[in-house]
Chain A
Amino acid sequence: MRRLACAALMAFGAIASSAAAPGEDPVRIEPLHFIPTENPSARPIPAGAPARVRLSSPDLQSLADALQVRLSAGQDSFEYVIGPYPQLPGATTRTWLEPTFVIDFNEPAFEPLRKELGEGDSKLTRANLVEYVADFIEASEDRNWDIASVVAVRRAGDCSEHAVFTAALARLQGMPARVAIGVALVSEDGELGTFGHAWAEILENGKWEVADAALHGLDGTVRYLPLGLLEDEGMGYSMDLIRTMRIWIDRVVVLGAQ
């Protein structure tokens, strides 16, 4: 399974490492955003088919609320179908077109891009935009959560930088865009894995669609489960990131295709 270079949910930039006492087997070091995923049947899920999964969480009620699932008393997990892309309700007072502290496409760093990409009738499609950003940014784990103008200059980062920059270029071109935070269920080389992830959403024909440059070109299938939106794109954005992180999945059991 390809390791995704994404530290989107790592507000503290943390890696989980488990200590092994002397003489014990060491525990493999895994980043926090890798979510333990089991596929008991070992059967792949056909591309395009909704995936039926069982989700566990340290705060199951919050996860159920986020996914609009009703829990029964005593449940320690619940089934969920990752199917058509869910539409998260965002702040209704926003156009998701405006420059903000994080999505700051009004900064001088975007001037060359504004000229290169064009505006109005010549604007890129969502697919072209994703491809452009994937080429523009070099994958790197060194960045925490750069604002868009920093990404425009550094051209490096993980999924959060891809998401923020994609949203900025989309807004620059007049397309409403926002940053979603959640998990991605990835099928690749016959294996399934789940990862904490961030990506952009672009509004098309009244629906929010995924614009994920970080996973562009992945030779596999990605199923997205948004759990929150970056709503506060102001100077205090990191507190909003922490808010979104409170909803978390700590185990996924793949039950098969729906």
Chain B
Amino acid sequence: MFKATAFALSLLTGVSAYGADEPKWLTDARAREGKILKPTEIRSKDGWFKARVPGKLVGIIEKVEGSYTVELDIGADVNVACEVYPEGINLANALRVTFGNLIKSSEKSQGKVDLRVLEASDAGAHGAVPYLSLTWLYRVAAADGARVGALKQFAMEKGPAGVYCAHNEFGYTKSFAAVTRAFAESLEAVTTGLATYYTEISTFSMAGQEVGVAVATLERDSEGDTRARQMTAMLIATTDGAVQSQDSERIDWLRPDGSLINSSNTDVSNGEVENSLSLQRDEGTWIVDGEVQGKAVKAQLPKDSQPGTWVIQAQQLRALLAEPDAVGREHSIGIWLAANPDKLTVEKTKILARLGDNQFSARGEFGGIGADLKLDKASGTPSGAEIKVGPIDARLERIYVNGSF
């Protein structure tokens, strides 16, 4: 987890970042912790969800305008507020928007927010539950003097549901973390989802800072077809003390042999749909349909195109890695990417070396991007990757795997 506390405080106090001392009142405020309460069950009034969390429920949990609001007393001056969304949320955008709303509301009630600093960011998983979290410091130029606030934010996805939690008070970091972890581990909701038979979760980092999370799941329907979902959520700090959010969801429907039936992809940038595309086969031709930056697009993939899938890619790589002469061999597959929608993008993987019994190093290339990969022999998917493009040095690390395909 990235920590830049001293840097953040230097901005707050207007002194140099290097060697800045934190005022005692701020150190004390940060260090405040309450006793972590014994978990108790909370349940929505309509019975749609329940969870066991270390906090006292304030009020009742009702669905209003599509979501359930949960207020929890954790022993601090300010309660933890959570929102449970049955239809799910864009994790990155939820954090971006809610912080923006806090700033707006503070400015309306107290005064101009003249400073905001992203103090920490984190991405990870509690078991099979991916999350993003941010910690902010902000300063309000109120009429009676400057006030400094701190906001802890957390957003997660469990099944189809999304949960957002926030605590607008200094300190109580462990208490807040206990609440959010408990939500992730214990949330049970009434859902009619398909049976998930494979899940993998990875985090993205840049320059050592966790900035995003990626999830891939495979679910089987009653006819034996598979819904392959890939979700990514990424938050990027900007120079003006805000964050940009990128949320993407891709769903491929696959036949039992892994071949593609159809595909859809939605990329949401700062809460706005940047593209929404589908790929369908119609009378022997693959048709791309949808919108890119609000502009309607319709295109055909070149004749005789047969889009591969990441499942087939993984299965073929798995077979290749099982061969005694795998090192030095190359695999290639054409994949449909929403970023390059009117043609297939060739993804090449060259096996470079064996790394113990279960891993291989490999070089991946797609669309001009190169990546150093660690390939997992068991799944055929990368357990780690390093991507260097110009100034970007991004790392992907798989942190959770469950199931097989």
Binding site for B on A (CB under 8 A): 3, 5, 9-20, 22, 25-29, 31-33, 35, 58, 101, 104, 107, 141-142, 144, 146-147, 149-150, 196, 234-236, 238-239, 242-243, 245-248, 250
Q: Give, as a whole number of angstroms, the nearest-CB distance from A88 to chain B.
A: 17
Identify the closest chain B residue to A107 (Cβ).
B295
Whether B230 is near chain A, meaning CB under 8 Å from some CB there, is no
Which residues of chain B (333-364) have a CB below 8 Å from chain A?
A: 337, 339-343, 345
Q: Give, as a whole number of angstroms, the nearest-CB distance from B138 to chain A.
A: 17
Whether B236 is near chain A, meaning CB under 8 Å from some CB there, is yes
B237 touches A17 (CB 8 A): yes
A17 and B205 CA atoms in complex are apart in Å by: 10
B297 touches A19 (CB 8 A): no
Binding site for A on B (CB under 8 A): 2-7, 10, 17-19, 206-209, 211, 234, 236-240, 242, 244, 246, 269-270, 274, 292-295, 297, 299, 337, 339-343, 345, 367-369, 388-392, 394
Sampled A-B contacts (10; CB under 8 Å): A9-B390, A13-B244, A17-B237, A26-B17, A29-B7, A29-B237, A107-B295, A144-B274, A239-B339, A245-B389
A251 and B308 CA atoms in complex are apart in Å by: 40
User: Contacting A236 at CB < 8 Å: which of B7, B238, B343, B390?
Assistant: B343
A141 touches B4 (CB 8 A): no
B residues less than 8 Å from A29 (CB atoms): 4, 7, 237, 239
B7 touches A146 (CB 8 A): no
A222 and B403 CA atoms in complex are apart in Å by: 56
Q: Give, as a whole number of angstroms, the nearest-CB distance from A54 to chain B.
A: 18
Q: Give, as a whole number of angstroms, the nearest-CB distance from B16 to chain A.
A: 10
Q: Give, as a whole number of angstroms, the nearest-CB distance from A64 to chain B.
A: 16
A22 and B1 CA atoms in complex are apart in Å by: 11
B residues less than 8 Å from A239 (CB atoms): 337, 339-340, 345, 367-368
A residues less than 8 Å from B274 (CB atoms): 144
B340 touches A58 (CB 8 A): no
A22 and B239 CA atoms in complex are apart in Å by: 23
Identify the closest chain A residue to B270 (Cβ).
A142
Known: A13-B236, A16-B207. A147 touches B392 (CB 8 A): no
Known: A25-B19, A235-B297. A18 touches B392 (CB 8 A): no
User: Contacting B367 at CB < 8 Å: which of A32, A149, A242?
Assistant: A242
A residues less than 8 Å from B234 (CB atoms): 12
A246 and B274 CA atoms in complex are apart in Å by: 24
A138 and B368 CA atoms in complex are apart in Å by: 32
B residues less than 8 Å from A150 (CB atoms): 293-294
Q: Give, as a whole number of angstroms, the nearest-CB distance from A229 to chain B.
A: 14
Identify the closest chain B residue to A18 (Cβ).
B207
A14 and B400 CA atoms in complex are apart in Å by: 25
B residues less than 8 Å from A144 (CB atoms): 269, 274
A11 touches B206 (CB 8 A): no
A21 and B111 CA atoms in complex are apart in Å by: 34
A154 and B182 CA atoms in complex are apart in Å by: 42
B206 touches A14 (CB 8 A): yes
User: Chain A CB within 10 Å — which of B10, B238, B389 has the most?
Assistant: B389
Q: Give, as a whole number of angstroms, the nearest-CB distance from A155 to chain B.
A: 15
A60 and B106 CA atoms in complex are apart in Å by: 49
Known: A13-B236, A141-B239, A150-B293. A242 touches B369 (CB 8 A): yes
A250 and B337 CA atoms in complex are apart in Å by: 30
A141 and B340 CA atoms in complex are apart in Å by: 24
Q: Give, as a whole number of angstroms, the nearest-CB distance from A157 to chain B.
A: 12
B391 touches A32 (CB 8 A): yes
A150 and B390 CA atoms in complex are apart in Å by: 27
Given A19-B207, A250-B391; 20 other pairs, CB 8 A cutoff: A10-B391, A11-B392, A12-B392, A14-B206, A16-B391, A20-B6, A25-B17, A26-B17, A27-B7, A35-B391, A101-B295, A104-B295, A107-B295, A142-B244, A144-B269, A196-B391, A235-B292, A239-B340, A245-B389, A245-B390
A residues less than 8 Å from B3 (CB atoms): 19-20, 22
10 closest A-B pairs by beta carbon, nearest first, are: A248-B390, A245-B390, A236-B340, A26-B7, A19-B208, A32-B391, A243-B368, A239-B367, A239-B340, A238-B339
Q: Give, as a whole number of angstroms, the nearest-CB distance from A59 to chain B.
A: 9
Identify the closest chain A residue to B212 (Cβ).
A12
A146 touches B293 (CB 8 A): yes
A14 touches B394 (CB 8 A): yes
Q: Give, as a whole number of angstroms, the nearest-CB distance from B51 to chain A.
A: 33
A28 touches B341 (CB 8 A): no
B339 touches A236 (CB 8 A): yes
Q: Give, as a whole number of angstroms, the nearest-CB distance from B274 to chain A.
A: 7
B residues less than 8 Å from A26 (CB atoms): 4-7, 10, 17-18
Identify the closest chain B residue to A30 (Cβ).
B239
A residues less than 8 Å from B299 (CB atoms): 235
A residues less than 8 Å from B269 (CB atoms): 13, 144
User: Chain A CB within 10 Å — which of B7, B270, B297, B299 has the most?
Assistant: B7
B residues less than 8 Å from A32 (CB atoms): 391-392
A149 and B292 CA atoms in complex are apart in Å by: 12
A residues less than 8 Å from B240 (CB atoms): 141
User: Contacting A9 at CB < 8 Å: which of B7, B339, B340, B391?
Assistant: B391
A142 and B274 CA atoms in complex are apart in Å by: 13
A66 and B238 CA atoms in complex are apart in Å by: 30
A17 touches B342 (CB 8 A): no
B residues less than 8 Å from A245 (CB atoms): 389-392
A238 and B338 CA atoms in complex are apart in Å by: 10
B residues less than 8 Å from A31 (CB atoms): 238-239
User: Chain B CB within 10 Å — which of A142, A149, A247 has the most?
Assistant: A142
A140 and B394 CA atoms in complex are apart in Å by: 25
A residues less than 8 Å from B236 (CB atoms): 12-15
Q: Give, as a whole number of angstroms, the nearest-CB distance from B344 to chain A.
A: 11
A17 touches B368 (CB 8 A): no
A243 and B340 CA atoms in complex are apart in Å by: 13
User: Chain A CB within 10 Å — which of B207, B294, B299 has the most?
Assistant: B207
